[in-house]
Amino acid sequence: MIPLTIALLLAVVTRASAVNLPEYIHVCKRRDPNVENCISQSVEYLRPYLVKGVPERNIPSLEPLLLKELVAAEGTGIRISARNVHAYGASDFTVKRLKIDLDKLRFEVDINLPHLYIDGMYEIAGRVLLLPISGTGPMQGNFTQCTGAVRMQGALRKDKAGEDHLYYSDFRMKISIGKGNLRLENLFGGERTLGDVVNAAINNNFDAFIRELKPLIEKALSESFLEISNRIVEPFTYKQLFPDN
């Protein structure tokens, strides 16, 4: 009994003092001529963990992805905000193109997102597509055939032991939405007919409508993914993630 307890204790102590690579990290050699293929595979290793989240590493679940607040800048004649937006389907992405320059720590990823469903609370006041609109309430939407272009800049930071750690200093995501459909409930304080007319107008002119919101969505997604990416890579040394040989 006692030797077993000691062995268990030792195992716990060793694990706590060195940050071992968890199973969701698939290592790629720095000089691998096919490092892009290797990293594509790493993304596949990671996907099921992204779906569930890794609570002990503070990595949130992507299903759903929570965007706390989107606020459109005033000045365009319209004020739009959305709170508690949950997006479902973000983990269903496929990697279309991957370009990596490990010397410059630049990562470029293009993805396809076949289907996103969102719900949340909105508030809107001002003119959209020349229509005066106001209201607040729940909203839902479907977006299909979306694509995302991600540009990440990495950098190295030394820990107390002098070991380099990779972190991302910049994360930019541009999205394009193939087809979209939104439903804003309770427009004009619940005036049904007017609400239906405006929802129809929004959906008939979805591209124009979403153009005003897109920069917000891109900023919120970029901030979320910057944080998630850093939580994934920061505990480990650069050497652990991308060994020399």
Q: How far is the CB of 182 from ligand NAG (least distance, A)?
A: 6
CB nearer to ligand NAG: pick between 117 and 167: 117
Closest distance to ligand NAG from the beta carbon of 155 (Å)? 40
- Residue among 135 and 141 whose Cβ is closer to ligand NAG: 141
Compute φ and ψ for 35, nearest 5 degrees: -60, -30
At residue 214, φ and ψ (nearest 5 deg) are -55, -45
Q: Which is nearer to ligand NAG, 57 or 183 (CB)?
A: 183
Annotate 168-196 with DSSP letters as a single string.
EEEEEEEEE-SEEEEEETTBGGG-HHHHH
**How far apart, in whole angstroms, are the C-alpha atoms of residue 88 and residue 115?**
8
Let me know: does 70 contact 213? Beta carbons within 8 Å. yes
Specify the residue, 176 or 181, whose C-beta has the smaller distance to ligand NAG: 181
Q: C-beta of 8: minimal distance to ligand NAG in Å?
A: 49
Phi and psi angles of residue 103, each rounded to the nearest 5 degrees, phi first: -65, -40
* CB of 140 vs ligand NAG, minimal distance in Å: 4
Q: State the nearest-atom distance from the C-beta of 190 to ligand NAG, in Å.
A: 18
Which positions touch ligand NAG (CB under 6 A)?
Answer: 117, 140-142, 181, 183
How far is residue 106's CA from residue 172's CA, in Å, rounded to a whole number?
Answer: 12
Query: Residue 142 or 230: which CB sits closer to ligand NAG?
Result: 142
